[in-house]
Amino acid sequence: MYTISEFAKKIGISEHTLRYYEKEGLIEPARDEHNYRVFGEEEVEWANFVIKLKNTGISLKEIKKYTQLRNLGDSTITERKNLLLNHRIKILTEYERAKSHLDLLDNKITLYEQMEKKYKK
């Protein structure tokens, strides 16, 4: 079991952020006999998943919805999958836009390299 400071350090976020995630219902610690937060390995695994989701650019609102669905159990598997599929579509759209921008830059760089070779001759 981990204290809040140990847990925050283990998952790589601040205690302040951890408390915020708890307030938003994203992470739910157990409480010890003194009502202190305690976290186990299951919470470590879940918190790491939440952080990875956040790193994909998904909104906290969507993570909160996902968490609520998860807490309802296996009857929400399809809804959770659809939430992730919708986010995947957003990421693919952003990826295609970024790829298009890179292609434009690569083409212009190639043109300039050809012009440099011609100019240096």
Regions of the chain short of the pLDDT cut 70: none
- CATH number of the domain enclosing 96: 1.10.1660.10
Cα(74)–Cα(14) distance, integer angstroms: 31
Are 39 and 30 contacting, i.e. CB atoms less than 8 angstroms apart?
A: yes
Burial of 77 (0-12, 13-18, 19+ CB in 10 A): exposed
Looking at residue 66, what is its pLDDT? 97
Looking at residue 5, what is its pLDDT? 93
Q: How many domains does the chain have?
A: 1
Query: Which pTM value belongs to this model?
Result: 0.80
Looking at residue 121, what is its pLDDT? 75
Cα(81)–Cα(75) distance, integer angstroms: 12
Domain that holds residue 50: 4-120
